Structure formats: C-alpha cells, structure tokens
Amino acid sequence: MAYTLPTLGYEYDALSRSISADIMQLHHSKHHQTYVDKLNTALEGKSVPDSLERLLSDLESVPEDVRTAVRNNGGGHYNHSLFWQFMSPSGGGEPTGDLGAAITEKYGSFQAFVDNFSAQAAGLFGSGWVWLQPDLSLAALPNQDSPIMSGGEAPILGLDVWEHAYYLDYRNVRADYIKAWWDVVDWQAVAERYQHAK
C-alpha cells in the first residue's frame, strides 16, 4: 500500500494570522510530501501492517534494514497528518466543556497549561514535537517521534517545533511562533479526540 499526502481542509493562507501561506505551502507540499515519498520507498516490497498507526506502534516488527527510515519518515507522515488537524482558521480561544474543565483541574488554569506546554516546546533541544496525551500529560519528544512508538496512546494535540515549521516567519525565535500558534489551535478537534480516547 502506498501512503499519500493528506489534504489540509483549508487553504494555505487560512492560518496567516499565525503561520504564513509560504510556510504552510512549504511545510505541507514539500516537507510532508518528502516524508510520504521516503516512507513509500522504504516500504516498497516489504510486508508490514496496512495501518500507519499500527506500523509505528510496533517498530520492532519492521525489517531492520528500513526500521530507522520508517521511524523517521513514517513518524513525519503520522505527526504532520495530525498537526494539520489540530489547527483551524476559526481556532484559538480556550477549550470548553469536559476538556476545558479537565485541563483546569489538572493544571490549575488554562493559562497554566499553556505556560507549561509552551515552556516544554521552547525548551526542547533541537527538533521535535510536544504532545498532549489523552490523560492530559505532556510529552516532549525529539525528531519525528510520537508517543505511540513507545506504547502510548495517540496524542490529542501536538506542536511541531522543527525549524521548518516557523523559520520563514519567525527566524530563530521559536517562542514567538509558539505564542502565535495558540491563536489557531482547533479546540473543537482536540475535544473530539479527547472524548474519543476516554
């Protein structure tokens, strides 16, 4: 089975108050597409699970000669496929309902959660992701790693802190990108993932 680049569900300029159309186009059509292409090349002729999530959840079953390529490029494809869904032109604000209440209960306030998440994103050395798990714990992981690679559940929110995600807009000031990103987070999508995982 060949993996394909997912559509965004919105135009490249739809998040421009936080992420420019140039970044979105480069990030989606070039970086993400490259992960897809390299994953398909690595898996050509291999017998592996037909689900990307199942594949990444059991990397030990992947033939050793392509395991690193699958981890990096399969992780890149999986992570970015989620990332596009975590953002919306109508995003921003705060979560309500069960998710909002649960975040406040765990962190003391929504702002305390944002501060904690943002600090982990700003402090992650090199390239990687910060993930919010269904139990509302945070995981800061390097490269294209995901919690599912180590037996964890699929995340309900994640932020890409690779430089390719922000450098055209924010240069080397990752903190400015992180601050702006909160304005496009799709809390409805996050809440749906949270409810589904319960």
pLDDT tens per residue across all 198 residues of the chain: 799 999 999 999 999 999 999 999 999 999 999 999 999 999 999 888 879 999 999 999 999 999 999 999 999 999 999 999 999 999 999 999 999 999 999 999 999 999 999 999 999 999 999 999 999 999 999 999 999 999 999 999 999 999 999 999 999 999 999 999 999 999 999 999 999 998
**Nearest-10 Cα torsion for 137, 142, 143, 145:** -40
First to last CA, the chain: 31
pLDDT of residue 33: 98
Say whether 160 counts as a known binding-site residue. Answer: yes
Place of tokens 């964890």: 152
Q: Is 128 in contact with 141 (CB distance < 8 Å)?
A: yes
Q: What is the pLDDT of residue 198?
A: 83
Where residue 104 falls (left for φ over 0; alpha for ψ -120 to 50; beta otherwise) is alpha
Which of 3, 14, 1, 32 minimizes the C-alpha distance to 144? Answer: 32
Query: Is position 80 annotated in a ligand binding site?
Result: yes
135 has binding-site annotation = no
**CATH number at 97-197:** 3.55.40.20
Which residue in this structure is represented by tokens 């490029």?
73
Amino acid 80: pLDDT? 98
196 labelled binding-site residue = no
Domain ranges of the chain: 21-85, 97-197
pLDDT at 5: 98
* CATH code for the structural domain at 21-85: 1.10.287.990
- Contacts of residues 99-108 at CB distance under 8 Å and 24 or more positions apart, as own/partner, are 99/187, 99/190, 99/191, 99/194, 99/195, 102/136, 102/194, 103/136, 106/136, 107/136
Give me the pLDDT at residue 187, please. 98
Residue tagged 């390239």 (tokens): 127
User: Are 93 and 187 spatial neighbours (Cβ–Cβ below 8 Å)?
Assistant: yes
- Strand (E) positions, the chain? 128-132, 138-142, 157-160
pLDDT of residue 47: 83
pLDDT at 50: 79
Residue 40 has what pLDDT? 96
Report pTM.
Answer: 0.97
Q: Which of 43, 44, 35, 36 shows the shortest CA–CA distance to 59?
A: 43
